[in-house]
């Protein structure tokens, strides 16, 4: 089923008790904030960041939550949001604090039972939900896979094949009055890529998928939004316990997701037993390792690993490519500069057809596309794939700014807000300007990962960073070599979805034209 009204809003509207609770909390918020700070400071010399709002205020601004937090961050580099009478969460845009929690004192910060409890229903024991032995085990497995030449070669070939399929679909509507939702097409294309790399399975989503796959994709997209809402919904545990509202929908969705992935695992096992698989996809490689680690690599554990990989690989690149094209539509000179660079980088071997051009996009030519790389990075600065992330403090700690956090408190760093802070990026912080990433000779100049946090940093830095850049650059190069894009409605305000990753809402509606 699709949402006609946000489920969290329905949960509130249909229950007068919840409405009364919300009203009372809004009135009591400032008083509780003062009481909480007094109790914490009474008889102590510990310092705590200022409380500037409540979780119920975040709930009221749910659809604009990242912009609401950005406005607060302009006044306070680090602040607290009260989520119960005597407990608050810490939000920060301070690179020194980010470095402290992600690297310097890494062992003291992690997902913790709080995050695990929220995400476990969907992500299980996947790498995005766990700490300790499970995290180290999956990190080791993933690190090995991403470092292999085989994955680099197979993924590059898959990306080029699917970029051609996307370009062919785009060509069919180019120069017409028909607008397309390019974000939806990006989602389908990147899903095709991640499925083939993960399972060795070709979906061909742009040509249409079977009913089971469509239901799986719907359940997955809906579930990520429902899980994300738990962070600001104080009643989610109650709803899960009695299995009503959004909690009941999530439970049904997870059953659909589990059934689908377990069918894929059983099918792959059968293929491997019959020696009809080339063992290049990630699932095959994990199954090949199972005899060496049978206690860990169970079907359930493989389900968790693969699902986390799918979410990371599908949504992040599709969302970023959508924001990238949107920004190019707003900045035509940047689009033209990328076109010239792409054409020159591939050279005469690029030919005149989409197929010829994609076949000649090599690692060497991609390396020459520094302005394209800068433009994608600039997109991630303003519209990071993961706009908000955080860790639980395991034991009392003092941060580099002189303030303290207590054991069990949630400290969140804000990639979305950080990209808009003038005290980090200068007066033009909110302007899309790829040149800020290039030196005078046009070479790419990376920033500190504790300032540009789109890929995390420290021991948990994204292992798929280069994997993601390769896919985005191939798709962007193929599309921009042959097409230009124009927004269907240039006056329409842009919004985002409240999911794990930053998608445009309702989509990216554009007209397409051949070059």
C-alpha dist (Å) from residue 452 to 377, 402, 428, 455, 503: 9, 23, 16, 8, 19
Residue 462 labeled ligand binder: yes
* Cα 415 from Cα 385, distance rounded (Å): 9
Residue 66, class by beta-carbon neighbours within 10 Å (0-12 exposed, 13-18 middle, 19+ buried)? buried
Residue 234, class by beta-carbon neighbours within 10 Å (0-12 exposed, 13-18 middle, 19+ buried)? middle
- Residue carrying structure tokens 């109650």: 238
Contact assessment for residue 182 and residue 503, using Cβ atoms and an 8 Å cutoff? no
Intra-chain end-to-end CA distance of the chain, in Å: 40
Report the candidate in 436, 333, 318 with the shortest Cα–Cα distance to residue 377: 436
* Cα 228 from Cα 213, distance rounded (Å): 23
- Name the H helices within 42-111: 55-60, 65-75, 95-99
C-alpha dist (Å) from residue 157 to 30, 64, 164, 471: 57, 39, 11, 10
* Cα 369 from Cα 472, distance rounded (Å): 12
Tokens of 296: 């860990």
Cis peptide before 506 (omega within 30 of 0): yes
State the binding site for heme.
462
List, as residue ranges, the binding site: 462
């Amino acid at each position: 089923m699709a949402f006609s009204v946000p489920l969290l809003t329905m949960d509130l509207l249909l229950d007068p008790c919840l409405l009364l609770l919300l009203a009372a909390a809004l009135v009591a918020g400032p008083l509780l904030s003062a009481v909480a700070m007094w109790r914490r400071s009474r008889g102590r010399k510990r310092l705590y960041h200022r409380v500037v709002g409540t979780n119920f205020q975040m709930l009221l601004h749910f659809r604009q939550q990242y912009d609401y937090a950005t406005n607060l961050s302009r006044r306070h580099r680090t602040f607290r949001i009260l989520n119960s009478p005597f407990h608050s969460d810490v939000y920060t845009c301070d690179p020194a604090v980010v470095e402290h929690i992600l690297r310097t004192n890494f062992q003291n910060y992690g997902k913790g039972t709080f995050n695990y409890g929220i995400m476990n229903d969907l992500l299980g024991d996947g790498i995005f939900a766990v700490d300790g032995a499970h995290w180290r085990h999956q990190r080791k497995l993933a690190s090995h896979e991403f470092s292999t030449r085989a994955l680099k070669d197979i993924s590059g070939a898959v990306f080029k094949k699917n970029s051609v399929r996307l370009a062919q679909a785009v060509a069919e509507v180019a120069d017409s009055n028909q607008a397309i939702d390019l974000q939806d097409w990006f989602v389908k294309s990147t899903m095709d890529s991640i499925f083939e790399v993960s399972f060795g399975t070709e979906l061909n989503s742009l040509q249409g998928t079977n009913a089971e796959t469509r239901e799986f994709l719907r359940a997955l997209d809906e579930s990520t939004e429902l899980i994300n809402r738990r962070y600001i919904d104080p009643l989610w545990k109650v709803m899960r316990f009695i299995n009503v509202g959004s909690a009941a929908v999530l439970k049904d969705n997870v059953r659909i997701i589990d059934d689908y992935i377990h069918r894929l695992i059983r099918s792959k096992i059968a293929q491997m037993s019959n020696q009809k698989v080339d063992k290049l996809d990630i699932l095959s490689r994990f199954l090949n390792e199972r005899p060496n680690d049978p206690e860990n690599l169970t079907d359930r554990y493989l389900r968790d690993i693969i699902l986390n990989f799918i979410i990371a690989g599908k949504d992040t690149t599709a969302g970023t490519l959508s924001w990238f094209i949107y920004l190019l539509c707003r900045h035509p000179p940047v689009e033209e500069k990328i076109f010239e660079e792409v054409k020159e980088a591939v050279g005469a071997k690029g030919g005149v057809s989409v197929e010829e051009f994609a076949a000649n996009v090599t690692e060497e030519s991609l390396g020459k596309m520094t302005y394209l790389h800068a433009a994608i990075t600039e997109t991630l600065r303003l519209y990071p794939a993961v706009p908000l992330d955080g860790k639980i403090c395991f034991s009392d700690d003092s941060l580099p700014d002189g303030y303290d956090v207590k054991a069990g408190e949630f400290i969140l760093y804000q990639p979305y807000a950080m990209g808009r802070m003038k005290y980090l990026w200068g007066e033009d912080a909110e302007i899309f300007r790829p040149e800020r990433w290039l030196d005078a000779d046009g070479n790419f100049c990376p920033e500190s990962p504790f300032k540009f946090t789109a890929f995390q940093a420290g021991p948990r830095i994204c292992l798929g960073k280069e994997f993601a850049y390769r896919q985005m650059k191939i798709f962007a190069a193929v599309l921009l070599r042959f097409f230009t894009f124009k927004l269907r409605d240039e006056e329409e305000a842009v919004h985002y979805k409240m999911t794990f990753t930053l998608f445009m809402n309702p989509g990216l509606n554009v007209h397409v034209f051949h070059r």
